[in-house]
Amino acid sequence: SQKIEQNSEALNIQEGKTATLTCNYTNYSPAYLQWYRQDPGRGPVFLLLIRENEKEKRKERLKVTFDTTLKQSLFHITASQPADSATYLCALEGSSNTGKLIFGQGTTLQVKP
């Protein structure tokens, strides 16, 4: 069956370090993958979208990689700050061209000053 897995355990890092979050998927062949940030009590906020033909995408301190062979996406936050503390969700299309977006359970990141 189709499955998206993100680290269920919270990731705790020191301010200034690089945070790396993982999103693995099985039995999917997504055309793209998205990353969102969610703060408690709020709706998710879109961060980055990467397509299957893109290996890497950057936006300010954020970097996303997409390895369709490993069926994995890595999300990096460089020079992390306490304000980066949140839950990060990856999402991909459930079946090609259906527009049905499936989300992972999310990984909670805690950046300590």
Provide the binding-site residues for another protein, judged by CB under 8 A.
Answer: 31-32, 34, 36, 41-46, 49, 89, 91, 93-94, 98-106
SS3 83: helix
Cβ-based nearer residue to another protein, 46 or 112: 46
User: CB 27 → another protein: shortest distance, Å?
Assistant: 16
- Of 36 and 79, the one with the shorter C-beta distance to another protein is 36
Q: Phi, psi (5° rounding) for residue 2?
A: -75, 140
Of 96, 87, 84, 73, residue with least CA distance to 5: 73
Nearer residue to another protein within complex by CB, 49 or 74: 49
Minimum distance of another protein from residue 113's CB (angstroms):
28
